[in-house]
């Protein structure tokens, strides 16, 4: 069959367009064959020895011990500006399948406050690997014996590290759900909050189990509720807010993100690695047991939904406080 000149010209134009598109598009990553081919960089937006640093290096250490990667993970601590420096560096490497970062409270609050040129959309969620639940703690001889007592109190005080934190978010939830006025007093650290609860200057606090279990074991403080959907194995006799009839549930998910624009194959590759780490005895011994955290693996899709929900909660609280409009 004879092909017209016009048809040949059209075919040539289409072929040239395809070539230009292929040249402009990022190279596809086939996780089964040509990925990974180099070492990874784990950006830690805080200093050495802090919670984010320990999380990142423990994940990397378990990955190395289990020989889950052919290469190495190189750690880069970039502290400064409440996490903005590190998260900006990670976000700037759009499409880079060899850059990772951990999630922290500042991952949400810093961009919401307008203090950073990045936001949630500049990252690709990879997965959650554990969760840090919170316990509502009072002094052992406090008159607050249960959530029913909290609801009848009228007005209470709590402590929070800084103006915006998970403890502040939970205090806002308690105020709305239990119809009690909660005044949140900012402190410089968790130690100060514990001291003020023990001294009777603050009525209650929210703390991670790693922070409050020593007080419970020493008999100086007790828990009256936990922020999870189900009771915690470490505190089997302490009810959740939800089982008591209050819609209060919030935990800090520990997980990894990559820059926006990485391929689905890369996401699937790292989902499987995180799943293996989360289910390992090494992870349980080196992180969960050590820091009294709970296992919780979430794939990329679920993690993305939970990150957005957390982000929306922070926006709501900041608006209620008049911090943002």
Judge if 207 and 235 occupy the same domain.
yes
CA max distance for the chain: 96
Tens-digit pLDDT string for the chain (325 aa): 444 545 455 444 444 444 433 333 334 454 445 899 999 999 999 999 888 999 999 999 999 999 999 999 999 999 988 889 999 999 999 999 999 999 988 899 889 988 688 999 999 999 999 999 999 999 999 999 999 999 999 999 999 887 778 899 899 999 999 999 999 998 888 889 999 999 999 999 999 998 899 999 999 999 999 999 999 999 999 999 999 999 999 999 999 999 999 999 999 999 999 999 999 999 999 999 999 899 999 999 999 999 999 999 889 888 887 888 8
For residues 190, 159, 208 and 236, what is the CA-based torsion angle, rounded to 10 degrees? 140
Judge if 217 and 270 occupy the same domain.
no
**φ, ψ for residue 93, nearest 5 deg:** -95, 55
Judge if 60 and 208 occupy the same domain.
no
Domain count, the chain: 2
pTM over 0.85: no
Q: Which domain holds residue 74?
A: 40-132+251-321
Q: Which of 244, 273, 291 is the last residue of a domain?
A: 244
**CATH, residue 98:** 3.40.190.150
Nearest to 122 by CA among 240, 258, 219: 258
**CATH, residue 200:** 3.40.190.10
Judge if 118 and 91 occupy the same domain.
yes
2 in any annotated domain: no
Judge if 87 and 178 occupy the same domain.
no
């Amino acid at each position: 069959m004879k092909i017209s000149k016009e048809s040949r010209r059209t075919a040539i134009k289409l072929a040239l367009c395809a070539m230009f598109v292929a040249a402009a598009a990022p190279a596809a990553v086939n996780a089964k064959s040509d990925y990974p081919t180099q070492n990874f960089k784990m950006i830690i937006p805080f200093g050495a020895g802090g919670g984010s640093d320990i999380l990142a290096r423990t994940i990397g250490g378990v990955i190395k011990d289990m020989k889950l990667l052919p290469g190495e993970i190189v750690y880069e601590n970039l502290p400064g500006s409440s996490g903005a420096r590190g998260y900006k560096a990670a976000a700037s490497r759009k499409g880079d399948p060899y850059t990772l970062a951990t999630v922290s409270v500042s991952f949400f609050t810093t961009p919401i406050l307008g203090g950073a040129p990045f936001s949630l959309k500049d990252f690709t969620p990879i997965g959650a690997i554990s969760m840090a639940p919170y316990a509502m703690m009072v002094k052992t001889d406090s008159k607050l014996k249960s959530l029913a007592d909290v609801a009848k109190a009228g007005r209470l005080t709590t402590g929070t590290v800084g103006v915006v934190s998970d403890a502040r978010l939970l205090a806002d939830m308690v105020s709305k759900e239990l119809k009690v006025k909660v005044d949140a007093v900012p402190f410089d650290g968790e130690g100060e909050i514990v001291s003020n609860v023990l001294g009777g200057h603050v009525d209650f606090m929210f703390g991670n189990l790693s922070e409050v279990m020593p007080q419970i074991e020493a008999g100086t403080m007790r828990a009256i509720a936990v922020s999870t959907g189900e009771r915690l194995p470490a505190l089997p006799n302490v009810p959740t807010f939800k089982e008591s009839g209050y819609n209060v549930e919030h935990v800090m998910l520990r997980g990894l993100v990559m820059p926006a624009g990485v391929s689905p194959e890369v996401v699937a590759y790292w989902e499987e690695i995180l799943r293996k780490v989360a289910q390992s005895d090494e992870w349980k011994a080196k992180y969960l047991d050590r820091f009294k955290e709970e296992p919780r693996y979430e794939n990329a899709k679920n993690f993305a939904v939970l990150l957005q929900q957390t982000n929306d909660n922070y926006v709501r609280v900041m608006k209620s406080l008049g911090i943002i409009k």
